[in-house]
Copies of this chain bind each other. A is one copy, B any other.
Amino acid sequence: MAKDFVVGIDIGGQSTKLGVVDARGEVLAQSVIKANPSDDAKVIIDELAAGVKSLITSAGKEDQIRGIGVGAPNGNYYTGSIAFAPNLPWAANGEVPFAKMLSESCGGIPVALTNDANAAAVGEMTYGVAKGMKHFIMITLGTGVGSGIVIDGKVLYGSDGFAGELGHTAAVRHNGRACNCGKSGCLEAYCSAIGVARTAREWLEASDEPSQLRLLDNITSKDVYEAAKEGDALAKRVFEFTGRLLGESLADFVAFSAPEAIVLFGGLARAKEFLYEPTLKAMNDNVLPLWKNKVRILFSQLKESDAAILGASALAWEL
């Protein structure tokens, strides 16, 4: 029977999403598995394989699956392993040969693995705003900041499979904020959802400026966004600051790979109305004259849940 379908899997700290996808990028069936607290990779992978099999059955596509593509934190395309992923208890303290184990549990269907930001880049290139582009950089602005770099139509993996960790380049070179990675001043410490909330909290502490955010106990980036929409001046400045730091970093990324566009994706990218202009301005203020007003900043238009599945699934076509 022709194998005209693939499975896309997006593994996150909270849940794992899976879908059966056809060649046009239609998600025919999808399901969600809530994160299992077990730290036993075998348990997790067997549970996932059961979910995959049942989804394939419910879509009526037994024996028609060409491959399984998986996006996961710290997923390595070259080795097929997930290693030292702090948000996955079963892969937090060592290296799990994930692709091999899942393929075995799924009766030998081939499995390709990459990290979540690379999967998002593939999804955007195959089905989204980067369709037809040969050179672009995907920046995922979520709890953290990830990136997927596309060069000549292919994801950049580098010598070891870990290329594209732009969230951990320096947004602030000295005396920057501590980052979860152990370094300080990283882009992720400022331009993630957590970074935005932290900027707001720091600024509220440092002044008496009135802000509706003062009424809240535990400020999140969503609170800052809501406040900005209601005209809160401090909240709006938090996004201006965030956009400025992001744009300054983007300018350096442009000097590296001369992309056609930067694609922003993830929860924080929903604050487009406040982020777009300061980000674009800071980028253009910091690139060489030859790139001024030439590189576009685009916001992903794929549904976030679909995008992750689609990106991972696109990987499976190459198997």
Contacts and interface: CB of A to CB of B under 8 A. Distances in A.
Interface of A: 84, 134-135, 149, 151, 156-166, 168-173, 181-183, 248, 251-253, 255-260, 286, 288-291, 294
A120 to B, nearest CB: 17
A171 B168 CA distance: 15
Given A135-B159, A253-B256, A286-B183, A172 B173 contact: yes
B248 A158 contact: no
B181 A288 contact: yes
A288 B85 CA distance: 13
26 contacts: A84-B290, A135-B158, A149-B256, A151-B151, A156-B257, A157-B258, A159-B259, A159-B260, A160-B258, A161-B258, A162-B290, A163-B256, A163-B258, A164-B255, A165-B258, A166-B255, A168-B288, A169-B255, A170-B248, A170-B251, A170-B286, A173-B248, A181-B288, A181-B289, A183-B286, A256-B257
Given A135-B158, A288-B183, A256 B173 contact: no
A106 to B, nearest CB: 28
A288 B169 CA distance: 9
A104 B25 CA distance: 49
Nearest to A253: B256
Contacts of A158: 135, 151, 257-259
Nearest to A135: B159
